[in-house]
Each structure stands twice: as C-alpha cells, then as structure tokens.
Structure 1
Amino acid sequence: MPRAQREQQMLDAAVMIFSRSGYHAASMDEIAEACEVSKPMLYLYLGSKEELFAACIRREADRLIAAFAGAADPGLAPGDQLFHGLTAFFAFVAEHRDSWVVLYQQARAQGEPVVEDVASARREVVSAVTALLRRAVREADLPGPRPGEGPDRGEAAAMAQVIVGAADALAGWVLDTGPEPPEETARRLMSVIWIGLEPRLRGARYGD
C-alpha cells in the first residue's frame, strides 16, 4: 500500500481511538491494532503519540474548512452562501462525529501547539464568514465601525464571531440530543442570525 494511503488509514484509526478513549487513555498499541499495523510502523510513519494527535488535528481541521469553503458558492447571495456553508459544516459534524469530538473536545484539553492549531482553523472559518458579511454590508451600505473601533471590530467581524460560536454550540447540541438533517440545523441558525441581521444591515441597533 502506498505510504500516503497507509498514513491516512493510521490517522482514521487514531481519530476514532482518540475520540472514544480520550488523548490520555488512548494507547499507541490500541491505535496500531485498529489500523492493523505494527506499533513500530506507526511510530515510523507519524511519530510520537503527541505528534500523531497533532497530525489528526491538522487533518480534521483542514477537512472541516474545506467542507465549509467548498459549499459557499460565490455566485449566490451572501445569505445563501452562508446557509450552504453552514449546511456543509453541520453535515461534516454529523458524518464525522469522531473528528468533531477530537477537534472541539479532546484538542481543547491539550496544550500548545495543538490548541493553536485548532484556534488557527477557527480563525479561517471566521475569516470566511466575515468576508461573506462584509459583502452583505457593502451591498446594504451599512455604516462602518463606530469611532474608536479598530478594523477587526467592525460589524462583519463581530457578527462572524457570533455566527461561528453559535454554530459550534448548535453542533454540540445536535450530537447530544439526536440527529437531524444538516439543512434543518442550518435553517435553525439562519432563522435566528440572518433574520436578525437584516434590520442591522439597514442600520438598526438595539437601544436606538
């Protein structure tokens, strides 16, 4: 079997074991057995347990980002792009539960550089959502940041943080309470976020 293919099998097995056993309880023996290779081969290909876990984080983060970005058709209106991106995000979580657990539960309990890898992936998703919202802001002629706000504290950047944080929480809720179609989960979030954004895009603010 080509090395690249074998490495992917090893990562698949590692993600499954880390998800089910946790980082500290998972053993290299268990992972090697799950992917039907010897432990020396596992070490040779992917290094120590810490290095293997970091490789899992990088791969799963890249897959999640690609799923979101690939679904956001630039030919659609910003709201439709966001809906399709969120649908792909929730579909990824549903289809790759182990990946989600490793990325958003196991990884956050580890130190650097694993935590930074997860944070970097999240920043990429936030950046993609921010770009969509900035387009919506331009089309709606929304005023820019208030005096004293830096470029990263504008309306689009702030709302992107809200949307990504809400998507994270909603994904966890769906996994805990039972499956539902990804489109329905995305529609739940869009019904709160996007409907609420529309008046804001026209300039409305709470308390005005």
Structure 2
Amino acid sequence: MPRPSLKDQRSQEILDAYLTCVARFGLNGATQERIAEMAGVKRPLLRHYLGNKDEMVTALAGYVVAGFSESLEGLRQALPGGATPSDLVDALFADDSGTDPRLMLAYQALVVEVPDRPDLRQDLMDSLTEFFDVVEDILRRATPNAPDTHIRAVTQGISAIFVSMDALSPLDPPKVWRAELKLAASLLASTLEATP
C-alpha cells in the first residue's frame, strides 16, 4: 500500500486545525490566521493545500462528514446483531465512545452556513440520515414488535439527546449532566424494550 503523500498528510493536519478552530470560534471566527497558527504553517499555504475560503469550507464539510462516517462504523462494530436499546445507549454515552465533540460543533456551524451555501446541505443531511438509520436499525432489530412510529420517535429522541451532549461541550457543563442525558436516553429506549 502506498504511503500518503506529504500534501495529503499536510491537508489532513490543516483540516484538523480548521476543525478545532471552528469548534472553538465558529465558522466566521476560524480565521486563516488562527488556522495557520494552529496547523503550524504559514497562512499562504492554506490556499495551496485547501484552496480559497469557499473551497476550505467545502473541504471542512467533507472532513466532518467523513469523521461522522468513521464514528458510525465504530458504533456498528461495537454493537453486535443482538444489541439491545440499552446497549446502544451505553455505547453512545460511554466516556470512551470515541466521538469527537469538535465534529458536532463544526457540523452545527456548517448547518448555519447552509442558507448561504446550499451546496453543503445534501452531504450534511445524508450524514445525519446515516446516523438516524444506524440508530433505527439497532432499535428495530432489538425490538421487532415495536410500532414503526415508536421506533422512529425513539430514534429521534436518542439522537437529539446525543447531539445536545456535544453541543453543550463548550459550556463545560457539570459531569452530572452527561449522566442525566444518558439516563434520559435510557428511559426513552426502555419504552421500546417494554413492547411485547
């Protein structure tokens, strides 16, 4: 297998710095100066590796979507075919779940950008839909007798709870909130497990 090129490696490093800047300062606050400083490169190299501002945003969106896809693959592998809704909640809310809160913060910043950049919408929607599909598939396999409307509602509820956990991370909320969010998701999941 060929080694990645220096350009690919440097592009990944810059995208990771961009992700950090967007998570910390928002899309407009992630200036080229901040990104370059965080990546340890000179500002003109940003254009060389990622292009102009619009191309940088497009590259960031692709990087975020790929990061979510990788996390979802990890979730799929962590949960065997016989996983229960409780197993799903435990995996999503584990302290070492492997999810990067920067991804959700950047995702939210990109969503806000969609009215001005409608080209971003489809990839972001597809990524979110893929997450819903994974959660729904696990819930459906575990509770085949539950009504579809209940499975979809629980999918939406668990997903919203999960997303809010990362969305609140810049506030550095009390640790007990994470436990309470997990409990809320568990209570929601238990409604399906109780279905005969």
Q: TM-score of the superposition, structure 1-length normalised?
A: 0.73
Q: Report which structure shows greater RCO (CA 8 Å, sep ≥6).
A: 2
Contact 2:82 2:141 in 1 (8 A): no
Contact 1:64 1:89 in 2 (8 A): no
Q: Which residue of 2 aligns with 1:16?
A: 20
| Bigger-Rg structure (1/2) | 1
Counting only pairs closer than 5 Å after superposition, residues 161-172 of structure 1 correspond to structure 2 as 161-172=156-167
Deviation at 1:49, TM superposition (A): 1.7
Q: Which residue of 1 aligns with 2:151?
A: 156
How many aligned positions are there? 187
Deviation at 1:52, TM superposition (A): 1.5
Gaps of 5+ in 2: none
Deviation at 1:12, TM superposition (A): 1.4
C-alpha separation in 1, matches of 2:151 and 2:98: 25
Q: Which residue of 2 aligns with 1:117?
A: 123
SS of the residue 1:77 aligns to:
coil
C-alpha separation in 2, matches of 1:55 and 1:3: 14
C-alpha separation in 1, matches of 2:104 and 2:54: 18
Q: Which residue of 1 aligns with 2:49?
A: 45
Q: Read off the aligned partner of 1:109 and give its amino acid letter.
A: V
Query: Cα RMSD (Å) of the superposition?
Result: 3.0
Specify whether residues 29 and 97 from structure 1 end up closer, same or farther in structure 2 by C-alpha distance, changes over 3 A only: same
C-alpha separation in 2, matches of 1:165 and 1:12: 25
Deviation at 1:5, TM superposition (A): 1.4
Specify whether residues 131 and 182 from structure 1 end up closer, same or farther in structure 2 by C-alpha distance, changes over 3 A only: farther
Identity %: 23
Contact 2:18 2:60 in 1 (8 A): yes
Q: 2:91 aligns with which of 68, 85, 89?
A: 85
Q: TM-score of the superposition, structure 2-length normalised?
A: 0.76
Gaps of 5+ in 1: 146-153, 203-208
Q: Which residue of 2 aligns with 1:205?
A: none
Q: Which residue of 2 aligns with 1:178?
A: 173
Deviation at 1:75, TM superposition (A): 4.4
Contact 2:79 2:88 in 1 (8 A): no
